[in-house]
Structure 1
């Protein structure tokens, strides 16, 4: 089996997601892979009712990033964290949409062979009942998925 060539990792700027970014950066650096850091965001024109509904269903982690400017800052911070962990070639994307859909679309477009996600949400009752970003992305991904233990 050959080493990974393209690794995708998602971030919402939380410390938990940045731990996954650091692990993805270290892995990409060790493999000589390109790392693509993706951040899903909710467009600023979205009404408060829609944001509230998303947070009711997905919890406080839903759409932690609202607007493209905060998303750009989020990926900038994540790229720095990935580089400090050893990543060489790093690209970033801020994409409007739901976290799982954005991650899966980036994996497809980038022809990634590894998706890295943190485990936040996997062990909560809400995550078990309604699904979580790591669980949904793992179940639906067409490539290998690494779930990084990012919560204490």
Structure 2
């Protein structure tokens, strides 16, 4: 199967860089397009009572700016490989947002890095890669190294 549209979850980490490299490798096989997505988590409703709307707005602007910086660096890497690349910053639960975006662009493949959380931490925090593997309509490639 040729993967023509590949969505990559990206946060600037080494795990995300490894996933991006693998997505580029796969996309080169079929002259595919790479869609890089960064997801910022909204402020927890539990603390909304303790911060002002201005502080919330500043937080969101700062997080979006940080994500855009990471994504623009990733776009540069993909374009240097001779492939078409696009990016988008989303807000919400990472696995849900990545799946929704993959559906929106009609992606064939989702590529994400794996942080390797073990045991108790994984139970408490969940795992974006695990959620994607379980629920995404697309093929999911989890890059572990």
**Band of TM-score, shorter chain:** 0.7 to 0.9
The alignment partner of 2:15 has SS state of helix
**Cα distance 1:50–1:137, how it changes in 2: closer, same or farther (>3 A)?**
farther
The alignment partner of 1:9 has SS state of strand
- 1:107 maps to which residue? 102
Within the alignment, does 1:126 sit opposite 2:107 as a pair?
A: no
- 2:5 maps to which residue? 6
Please tell me whether the aligned partners of residues 42 and 97 of structure 1 are also in contact (alpha carbons under 8 angstroms): yes
- Unaligned regions of 5+ residues in structure 1, if any? 52-65
- 2:112 maps to which residue? 117
Q: Normalising to structure 2: TM-score of the pair?
A: 0.79
Deviation of residue 82 (structure 1)? 3.0
Mapping of residues 1-152 of structure 1, within 5 Å: 2-42=1-41, 46=43, 50=47, 67-84=63-80, 86=81, 88-121=83-116, 123-128=118-123, 130-150=125-145
Query: What CA deviation, in whole Å up to 9, does each residue of 1:78-120 have, x standing for no partner?
Result: 2223344x35011111111121111001111011110111121
* Alignment partners' CA distance in 1, 2:41 and 2:124: 23
* Alignment partners' CA distance in 1, 2:65 and 2:109: 27
- Unaligned regions of 5+ residues in structure 2, if any? 49-61
RMSD, aligned CA: 2.5
Q: Normalising to structure 1: TM-score of the pair?
A: 0.76
* Alignment partners' CA distance in 1, 2:5 and 2:118: 28
**Cα distance 1:81–1:50, how it changes in 2: closer, same or farther (>3 A)?**
farther
